[in-house]
A and B are shown apart, each in its own frame.
Chain A
Amino acid sequence: MATATDPPIAPGATGTERPREATALLLCARPRLDPAQAAHLHGLLAPPATDWPWFLHHAARNALTPLLARHLDGIDAIPRDVAERLASDTRRLSARTLPLTAALRKALAALDAASIPALPYKGPWLAERLYGDLGARPYRDADLIVRPDDRERALAVLKENGFPLVIEDNATPSAYNAKVQAIPGRPERLEIHWAIASPRQAVSLPVDWLFEGTAPTTALGGATVLAPRQSPSLEAEVLALCIHGERHAWHRIIWVADIAALLARGEIDGARLLAMAEERGLRRMTALPMALAERLLGAVPDNPALRSQAFHPWPKRQLDWIVAYIGRYWFHEHPHRGRWSSWRFHLGQREGAGRRRWILANLRGA
């Protein structure tokens, strides 16, 4: 991976009014800091000018609080009250994420006992795999994937094992996932996915791709779970995360950091990923987080086949607009007004006239 200075991290393109603090946040959005990055971070946070309330607030909005706690641990320049708040925020997050992880383990074990293949997805699975710690990445829910044909049986098995289906008030049944109660009396949920994309997104990914190449793996704090180990499941997981990120307009830095960290692991077959993305009309959707990681996190994969240019060469003006659009989520207080920006963003991620027409027809956005 590239160092912090090659290429430079350039949060200015996001339009932030706090470029120093924004740069520090972007630096923290990675599993580990190399010595050059650590020195850069120390320099950025040297007293007296850091706007700590802004820094901590935007770290939380971007799901980076635990990584801040990791990377700022031991830096003398961190004020005592900031260090204490980081520690207490991290403790509070762990009090939510560890019980969720425990619930996910129990759910996966119940499904395995019923011979229903199920995969952990996002949440604690990524936190541990990419960042080396179950609490490194906050999550409100924990997710798992089953094959579409196993959907009803999986929900029945989960119900029998203490995970009842939750129907939120005024919610219409989802076409691609369901929520079950994770812990009695608490608001956290397990999300059971049998499809990867919302129908509104006008794209899809065969769930079987995620299961081909899986194997029993030690994960989630020592459990044995089925998980991606080889092609094509490894590449399909990247595509699934790209679809998820696009759905939410990549509005948290951690989602881009996840893609950068996945690509840095050396497990992904670039040619295979490109072929799979092309087959499903996902080249742009896959290229965008790569481009954001390269441009904003300074995370350029050593393997040229895993760089954004290999998937889709974003015109500079269009990428500038996208960076400014997403930067508004990352570093500004107020969300976008009106729907035009949202349509422009989602249209720009679609390939083919049919998919673009679908997005335009669904005026509420993808």
Chain B
Amino acid sequence: MKNPRSAIASLTLDAVLVPSPDQVASAMGGEVALLNIDTGVYYGLDGVGARVWDLIQQPRPLAEIRDILLSEYEVPPARLEPDLLALAASLLSEGLAELTDGHGD
């Protein structure tokens, strides 16, 4: 399994997510449509979710994504962090993203 449940359960802001090779996506007009190629299940992201998808196109820790979002949206860190971790966990559990070791630059 590419994204073991234990890794998802212990997800922290140090984690680095990248899009899974097993998905295809389209981001037009502020929304993201995603298809898991293996399962054929179709997903949609909008608003902050779409922005997070945009940000994980380049490998970077979730903490860096949190900081970018805090600079772009009026939201307290205490609310953003759990939402970001929950979204990251969903992307991993649905096979749309995977964990990587670090920065890709």
Chain A residues at the B interface, C-beta cutoff of 8 Å: 66-67, 69-70, 72-74, 86-87, 90-91, 94-95, 97-99, 101-102, 105-106, 133-136, 220-223
A-side binding surface: helix, strand, loop or mixed? helix
Q: Which of B7-51 contact A (CB under 8 A)?
A: 19, 21, 23-31, 33-35, 37, 40, 42, 44
Q: Which residue of A lies closest to B20 (CB)?
A: A222
B-side binding surface: helix, strand, loop or mixed? strand
- A31 CB to closest chain B CB (Å) equals 12
**Chain B residues closer than 8 Å to A72, beta-carbon distance:** 29
**Once bound together, how far apart are the Cα atoms of A95 and B28, in whole Å?**
13
Known: A90-B28, A133-B28, A136-B28. A221 touches B23 (CB 8 A): yes
The size of the chain B interface, using a CB distance under 8 A, is 18
Name 19 interchain pairs, CB-CB below 8 A, sorted by A.
A66-B28, A66-B29, A69-B30, A72-B29, A74-B30, A87-B30, A90-B28, A91-B31, A94-B26, A102-B35, A102-B37, A106-B37, A136-B26, A136-B28, A221-B24, A221-B25, A222-B19, A222-B21, A223-B21
**Once bound together, how far apart are the Cα atoms of A294 and B48, in whole Å?**
39
Known: A91-B44, A105-B37. A70 touches B25 (CB 8 A): no
Q: Which residue of B lies closest to A224 (CB)?
A: B21
**Once bound together, how far apart are the Cα atoms of A106 and B38, in whole Å?**
10
| Contact among B21, B23, B33 with A135 in the assembled complex (CB-CB below 8 Å) | B33
**Knowing that A98-B42, A102-B40 are A-B contacts, what are 12 other residue pairs whose CB atoms are under 8 Å apart, sorted by A's residue number?**
A66-B26, A90-B28, A90-B31, A91-B33, A94-B33, A98-B26, A102-B35, A106-B37, A133-B28, A136-B26, A136-B28, A221-B25
- A41 CB to closest chain B CB (Å) equals 14
Q: Are A98 and B28 in contact (CB under 8 A)?
A: no
**Chain B residues closer than 8 Å to A99, beta-carbon distance:** 35, 40
Chain B residues at the A interface, C-beta cutoff of 8 Å: 19, 21, 23-31, 33-35, 37, 40, 42, 44
- A254 CB to closest chain B CB (Å) equals 14
Q: Are B28 and A135 in contact (CB under 8 A)?
A: yes
**Chain A residues closer than 8 Å to B23, beta-carbon distance:** 221-222
**Chain A residues closer than 8 Å to B35, beta-carbon distance:** 98-99, 101-102
- A256 CB to closest chain B CB (Å) equals 20
| Contact among A66, A69, A90, A98 with B24 in the assembled complex (CB-CB below 8 Å) | A98
**Chain B residues closer than 8 Å to A220, beta-carbon distance:** 24
| Contact among A67, A74, A86, A133 with B27 in the assembled complex (CB-CB below 8 Å) | A133
**Chain B residues closer than 8 Å to A97, beta-carbon distance:** 26
Closest 8 CB pairs of A and B: A135-B26, A69-B29, A94-B33, A221-B24, A98-B35, A102-B37, A66-B28, A222-B21
